[in-house]
């Protein structure tokens, strides 16, 4: 089969297996990206989750022998939830970002890429292929941009005209010389809505992100959240969608057609206080299929405590007071101390004073003392 014919049959097959967009690009190095990544490293703007070897991230030929081209795929995810449960006093809810709704996209996209590999192998038995989704070396967005999936937007996502920025990305490096597609024109123009709306100023300028300030990354961190960001996290217990929801290019892009990503309302907007009582096993059973569970329950529970503080949820004080003296994790005790200081009822401050009598962890003691000093300043 000729390459052009194969390329067309791949497009058709991809569509048939639920890949919403497919594009092709060469395996040439990503030279501009290489410079940008090095600058990001120098500035300390990286999240720490990415591959540290910039050469591997930008040179596809280092990842597959005889690499000739890259197939980029995009699968849309929903941005709207029907029957979204509303929180109320005494029953506050957190929220997982849209990219964590439904089944973990890594699993779904890997399955689709595996099907695509099998399809290509039946046409070209000696084809070499290497697929990746998110956690691979290549930068998904750079590949998607060059393959004409969408433009690289100021909010650091790829925006497609059809599905907005609500798309998961993946790619496959191959040794087949497919004809490259044309990159799309940047449609952000002079809009700055996402930069203006970012609660933490993480979008430094169009297309540059300081991951150290970005709530999407902070909510995944296993360390205590720096104090300047705690109140800004609000009730987000995983990820942040603000720079996407404000984007005019996402208006009306609901993408409800992918069943695998249909949100389960009670999980995507879970009640906060029951989250704090989950065992590891219960957490895995309820949330383990969602991509937002990948860091385990500790960061999610820490974020749930921040969310209770955000709501100044007085009904949660007895539970927080109990966690403050009984939870074995300093991360949880320290965050709880801060949360009780935010809620600041007499009962909450009393719990902080009591805990200081027995607390031995230096980091948690600092949090407890900070609360009491702040209370003294109010007097």
Q: Return the structure tokens found at 340.
A: 């009780």
Check: CB of residue 133 under 8 Å from CB of residue 113: yes
User: Shortest Cβ distance from residue 81 to ligand SF4 (Å)?
Assistant: 18
Check: CB of residue 163 under 8 Å from CB of residue 88: no
Q: Which of these, 302, 344, 308, lies nearest to 327 by C-alpha position? A: 302
Q: Which of these, 332, 87, 98, 94, lies nearest to 236 by C-alpha position? A: 94
Between CA 71 and CA 13 the distance in angstroms is 13
Helix ranges (DSSP H) in the chain: 3-16, 31-43, 54-58, 105-123, 140-146, 193-197, 215-218, 227-230, 242-245, 265-268, 272-275, 280-287, 297-310, 317-326, 330-343, 346-358, 362-378
> Is 95 or 215 the residue whose CB approaches ligand SF4 more closely?
215
Q: Which of these, 219, 238, 249, lies nearest to 158 by C-alpha position? A: 249
Q: Which of these, 136, 145, 195, lies nearest to 165 by C-alpha position? A: 145
User: Which residue shows structure tokens 């092709």?
Assistant: 24
User: Shortest Cβ distance from residue 283 to ligand SF4 (Å)?
Assistant: 24
> Is 33 or 247 the residue whose CB approaches ligand SF4 more closely?
247
User: Shortest Cβ distance from residue 195 to ligand SF4 (Å)?
Assistant: 7
> Is 247 or 344 the residue whose CB approaches ligand SF4 more closely?
247
User: Shortest Cβ distance from residue 49 to ligand SF4 (Å)?
Assistant: 14
> Is 177 or 248 the residue whose CB approaches ligand SF4 more closely?
248
> Is 67 or 218 the residue whose CB approaches ligand SF4 more closely?
218
Binding residues (CB under 6 A) for ligand SF4: these are: 153-155, 188, 191-194, 198-200, 202-203, 209, 214-216, 240, 242-243, 246-249
134 catalytic? Reply is yes
Between CA 51 and CA 321 the distance in angstroms is 40
Q: Which of these, 290, 325, 375, lies nearest to 107 by C-alpha position? A: 290
User: Shortest Cβ distance from residue 260 to ligand SF4 (Å)?
Assistant: 23
Between CA 137 and CA 57 the distance in angstroms is 5
> Is 174 or 250 the residue whose CB approaches ligand SF4 more closely?
250
Q: Which of these, 165, 160, 154, 162, lies nearest to 193 by C-alpha position? A: 154
> Is 60 or 239 the residue whose CB approaches ligand SF4 more closely?
239
User: Shortest Cβ distance from residue 214 to ligand SF4 (Å)?
Assistant: 3
Which position among 20, 53, 104, 134 bears the catalytic label? 134
User: Shortest Cβ distance from residue 97 to ligand SF4 (Å)?
Assistant: 8
Q: List the catalytic residues.
A: 134
């Amino acid at each position: 089969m000729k390459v052009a014919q194969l390329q067309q049959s791949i497009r058709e097959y991809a569509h048939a297996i639920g890949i919403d967009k497919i594009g092709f690009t060469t395996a040439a190095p990503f030279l501009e990206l290489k410079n940008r990544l090095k600058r990001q490293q120098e500035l300390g703007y990286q999240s720490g989750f990415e591959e540290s070897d910039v050469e591997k991230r930008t040179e596809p030929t280092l990842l597959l022998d005889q690499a000739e081209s890259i197939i980029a795929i995009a699968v849309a995810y929903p941005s709207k939830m029907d029957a979204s449960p509303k929180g109320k006093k005494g029953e506050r809810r957190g929220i997982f970002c849209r990219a964590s709704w439904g089944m973990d996209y890594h699993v779904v996209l890997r399955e689709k890429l595996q099907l695509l590999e099998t399809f290509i192998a039946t046409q070209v038995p000696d084809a070499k292929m290497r697929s990746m989704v998110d956690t691979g070396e290549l930068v998904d967005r750079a590949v998607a941009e060059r393959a004409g999936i969408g433009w690289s937007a100021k909010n650091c996502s790829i925006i497609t005209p059809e599905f907005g920025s609500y798309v998961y990305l993946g790619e496959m490096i191959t040794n087949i010389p497919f004809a490259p597609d044309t990159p799309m024109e940047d449609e952000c123009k002079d809009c700055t809505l996402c930069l203006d709306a970012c609660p933490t100023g993480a979008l430094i300028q169009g297309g540059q992100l300081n991951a150290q300030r970005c709530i999407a990354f902070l909510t995944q961190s296993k360390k205590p959240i720096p104090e300047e960001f705690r109140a800004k996290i609000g009730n987000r217990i995983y990820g942040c969608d603000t720079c996407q929801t404000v984007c005019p290019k996402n208006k009306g892009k609901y993408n409800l057609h992918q069943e695998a990503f249909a949100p389960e309302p009670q999980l995507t907007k879970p009640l906060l206080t029951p989250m704090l009582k989950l065992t590891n096993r219960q957490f895995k059973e309820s949330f383990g299929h969602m991509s937002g569970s990948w860091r385990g329950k500790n960061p999610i529970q820490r974020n749930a405590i921040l969310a209770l503080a955000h709501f100044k949820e007085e009904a949660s004080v007895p539970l927080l007071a109990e966690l403050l003296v009984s939870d074995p994790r300093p991360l949880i005790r320290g965050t709880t101390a801060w949360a009780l200081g935010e809620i600041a009822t007499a009962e909450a401050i009393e719990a902080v004073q009591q805990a200081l009598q027995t607390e031995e962890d230096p980091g948690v003691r600092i949090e407890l003392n900070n609360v009491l000093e702040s209370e003294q300043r109010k007097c």
